[in-house]
Amino acid sequence: MIRLLVSALLGGLIGMERESSKRPAGFRTHLLVSVGSASIMMISATAFDPIGQGNDPLRLAAQVITGIGFLGAGSIMREGSEIKGLTTAASLWICAAIGLSIGAGLYLLGGLTTLIVILTLTVLNRIDKDSKWNIIQRISKHEDTEFKESADFRKLIIIIDLKSEILHEIENRLKEYKVELLDVKIKRKTDENGGTTNGEMELLIFKDEELFTKFELINIIKDIFDMPGVLDVEILKRT
């Protein structure tokens, strides 16, 4: 009984954080996953083996880790090119691990794991949000702007004409340069009349200093800027 209550408490703490962040899996889901995992671990450890060949307590518990993947997949959603819910899916998976540890009587392991998870979801999330992207350079075809040779960047924001078919061409061009995109976001920009003629393409770039020299990165940006349908390019780095 104590193990079930402790697992409910620890799973509920993680669930409260997810609930406050308005995630698809919240307080009750995390609590139930933790309690269910603890109960399965207790059954696995104490179940009677009618054959008399001994009982493997890890066999039933291993199915929890496999089965929780289906529940975690339900919390992952895709909105356009953006994927959400990966952190919540990971928290559900680790709640199952916490429940198993408490069900096995490993209170210290379960408690420390919960503490690390909560710190990761709260403190590290704030640190990530506090680090902002600053525009270090902006070049436009509507203005006489000079390109500065600076390769210290991690993100590109490309303003494109939605009437053109430039979106896939940009992605294919970057693939030709073997530039890895960590994230791609597409936003429509409305004009004064409420129309949507331009779009904002946000690219999070992975840059390996050993693979790309400063000269190559500059050529990549220039090549994209010269493509028809590209209006502006903003180069950003994180502070």
Whether residues 109 and 152 fall in one domain:
no
Average pLDDT over residues 11-23: 83
* Predicted pLDDT at 81: 45
CATH number of the domain to which 166 belongs? 3.30.70.260
How far from the centroid of its chain's Cα atoms is residue 206's Cα? 15
By the 8 A CB rule, do 39 and 4 touch?
A: yes
Q: What is the DSSP letter of 179?
A: P
Domain end among 97, 130, 163: 130
Tell me the Cα Rg of the chain: 25
| Greater model confidence, 159 or 144 | 159
C-alpha–C-alpha distance, residues 53 and 47, integer Å:
13
Whether residues 125 and 139 fall in one domain:
no
18-22, 43-47, 116-120, 135-139: range with lowest mean pLDDT? 135-139
By the 8 A CB rule, do 232 and 201 touch?
A: no
Indicate whether this model's pTM tops 0.75: no
Whether residues 123 and 139 fall in one domain:
no
Q: Whose CA is closest to 7, among 82, 100, 86, 119?
A: 100
* Predicted pLDDT at 63: 80
Domain end among 101, 130, 159: 130
C-alpha–C-alpha distance, residues 136 and 116, integer Å:
36
Q: How many domains does the chain have?
A: 2
Proportion of the chain above pLDDT 90, given as a percent: 13
C-alpha–C-alpha distance, residues 82 and 96, integer Å:
27
Whether residues 171 and 62 fall in one domain:
no
| Residue 208: domain span | 133-238
